[in-house]
Homo-oligomer: A and B are copies of this chain.
Amino acid sequence: MQPHKARLQFASNVREQRLTKGLSQEDLAELCGLHRTYVGSVERGERNICIDNMERIALALEVRLEDLIKGEKE
């Protein structure tokens, strides 16, 4: 069984941070040099995203990567 808690938490945090900053998925995709549909699938937790792309998204959102990993109750 593959773990999947982390990717769902990441998905949720990316979406929350993107909306907080008033960005569309298209905006975020452009900022991080990824495709819009890729960003959408990341936000749905469908992608086993790799660390370099996680870092790109964190840089685009101007947050620390660890803040995109954190759970609400931790």
Contacts and interface: CB of A to CB of B under 8 A. Distances in A.
Contacts of A5: 55
Interface residues of A, number: 23
Nearest to A45: B51
* Copies of this chain: 2
A43 to B, nearest CB: 13
Contacts of A65: 6, 69
A2 interface: yes
A24 to B, nearest CB: 22
A4 B49 contact: no
6 contacts: A3-B55, A5-B55, A7-B52, A7-B55, A48-B50, A65-B69
